[in-house]
Amino acid sequence: MFIWVLLTFLIGIILIPIIRKFAILIGAVDAPRERHSHKRVTPTLGGIAIFLSFSIGFFLAPIDKTGFLPVYIGALIIIITGFIDDIVELSPKLKLLGQILAALCVTVWGNVVIEFINVPFYGQIDFGWLAVPISMIWIIAIINALNLIDGLDGLSSGISIIALMTIAGMAVILKDTFVAPVAFLLAAAVFAFLLFNFPPASIFMGDTGALFLGYMIAVLSLMGFKNVTFISLLVPLIILGVPLSDTFFAIIRRLKKRTPISAADRSHIHHRLLALGFTERQTVLLIYCMALLFSLAGFVFSFSTAWGSLLLLGLLILCIEVVVEFIGLISEDYRPVLNILQKIHRKRK
């Protein structure tokens, strides 16, 4: 597979400058705005280069492609949705419609669904007719989580590489001969893009790339971890801990402020780290480290006993809560755990 992964990477290196010129030609550029960190007009549509380089590498590689057509058609729907949004800016409802159609391709046509889980100390729970809607919610949630965190140069692409490499590594351990090579190929395509996207970026992936990567990560995690125990089902959630927790707390923040969930703000994790004085590069690298820690936790979690997994999950939730309070991800005055720790510290003095 190394040859095909390297080929995919090299194709990406060749395609990205071409796509960058094409984006400028058709006016698919991102001008600096109040919520943006970049200071110059930057071409977008980098997601097209990621998609094309991955597609070429995938179809050339000696991988059993049986059953992949529904997934690929869903990817095309996502790419078209993102492309149109990068050109004319679709409404949230139309973007969601594209995501639903793509998820339907995978779940209904491709039959890639979570059919049941085995819950520790309880037994098996069959989802029955709920398998399709639950799996669709899974896919759409991860798509939007990755899209929401795409706020700094190199952020989404780096997190995607970490998630894909982790999924690929676990697929190798599970001897999955499809998910592993596909994840490696996609990671190679994204890595080629990251060379042009790391701050200061000369091209953005746009919604085309963010939606596509979120979709593929969601589908690959679904294919690699479906029909498993409750513990294993949590593994991809832990691997994607940074974008998913950022999205979760963004929803909490907006509900608290009584603003629409789809409303944009400058309180995402990267915004808060920048507000604390970190530079853009430092912020991106710091979030990479967080993503790596989540991925490591995912590996440990998957090989732990039921009690060990529950203990690790509890510690992970506590760590997330402390970080959320420290950086003010919900609000600057939300500090229940930190206040308790401060009181304990004062009593010990």
Helices (H) and strands (E) in the chain, counts: 14, 4
Helix (H) or strand (E) holding 286: helix 280-302
**Alpha-carbon distance values, 9 to 15, 71, 178, 195 (Å):** 10, 22, 19, 11
Q: How far apart are CA 132 and CA 104, in angstroms?
A: 8
Query: For the whole model, what pTM was predicted?
Result: 0.88
Give the pLDDT of residue 227.
47
Instruction: Please report the DSSP string for 58-81 in residue order.
Output: HHHS----TT-HHHHHHHHHHHHH
Neighbours of 231 (CB within 10 A): 22
Contact (CB, 8 A) for 116 and 230: no
* All structural domains of the chain with their residue ranges: 1-28+39-348
Contact (CB, 8 A) for 150 and 206: no
Give the pLDDT of residue 278.
87
Nearest to 142 by CA among 72, 194, 211, 223: 211
Q: Chain-wide mean pLDDT for the chain?
A: 86
Contact (CB, 8 A) for 330 and 257: no
**Alpha-carbon distance values, 152 to 2, 204, 234, 273, 282 (Å):** 30, 10, 27, 11, 11
Listed as ranges, residues in the chain with pLDDT below 70 are: 32-39, 118-123, 226-233, 262, 349
Does 147 show up as a binding residue in the annotation?
yes
The residue type at 284 = V
Does 111 show up as a binding residue in the annotation?
no
